[in-house]
Amino acid sequence: GISCVLQDGEVFEKAGVNVSVVFGLLSEEAARQMRSRGKSLKAKDGKLPFCAMGVSSVIHPKNPHVPTMHFNYRYFEIEEADGTKQWWFGGGTDLTPTYLNEEDAVHFHKTLKEACDKHDLKLYPKYKKWCDDYFYIKHRGERRGIGGIFFDDVDSPSKEEVFQFVKSCAKAVVPCYIPIVKRHCHDSFTPDEKLWQQLRRGRYVEFNLVYDRGTKFGLLTPGSRIESILMSLPLTARWEYMHTPPESSKEAEILEVLRNPKDWVH
């Protein structure tokens, strides 16, 4: 794999891209995780050869008015005991703002919806809900961000058709996010707004280390590169005991959306 990371940039405090191609034998823990999602995996002498490849990126901007963005698109293949191969695609793109800007949220979701709609009008609502459900921090009762799209284990109608869909989603990353960055990267902000950004990043870390399937898979893969797996973590974050924002504040506004996801495109 190749990891490319930018730190202490003028616009991005920390931004990284991982391109990985991994071959090996699936660990027992990883196989157990897949079986829990309904995969029927027949091992030979307890061994399951696999290959996985994908591109992932996480961008944590300096300015609290520019949202954090994450995307990941991947392909997975497993060879079973009888030589047959199971394959599937997974991935998604999601946005994690510190403060809510409805115009940005609508732009982000509409761009992803357009990418999905080229293939099937049912995909965006299905994968938008999947995203809201997946990026849920159970112990906090809130989502990591305002969502986007997320899917996994997609293996129909055909490999080529799914691949074309995944490519459409990947091509939507720049137009869904960069206009938002350009709109806000020079906005002024206060020390209190920067503090709130640090607290929200703490939530980001909690999700990634406790729940994120990709992070957990990487940590369970023998010989994996820890620096690349933990690239998604922000450069700085903060945890304050019993912090609660004032009622009717801009900070409370984003929390309401994280607890009750919205439909941004209708």
The phi, psi pair for 177, rounded to 5°, reads -115, -45
Question: Which one-letter amino acid corresponds to residue 73?
Answer: Y
**Tokens 């941004």 -> residue:** 264
The phi, psi pair for 56, rounded to 5°, reads -140, 150
DSSP H or E stretch at residue 241:
none
Strand ranges across the sheet with 68-79: 2-7, 12-25, 49-61, 68-79, 85-96, 147-154
Which of 70, 107, 109, 184 is an active site residue?
Answer: 70
DSSP H or E stretch at residue 6:
strand 2-7
| Angstrom distance (rounded) from CA 19 to CA 205 | 21
How is residue 158 written in tokens? 């055909």
| Angstrom distance (rounded) from CA 115 to CA 73 | 14
Nearest residue to 146 via CA among 91, 185, 104, 84? 104
> Any catalytic annotation for residue 70?
yes
| DSSP 3-state of 55 | strand
DSSP string, 71-88: EEEEEEEEE-TTS-EEEE
| Residue 162 DSSP symbol | H
Active site residues: 70
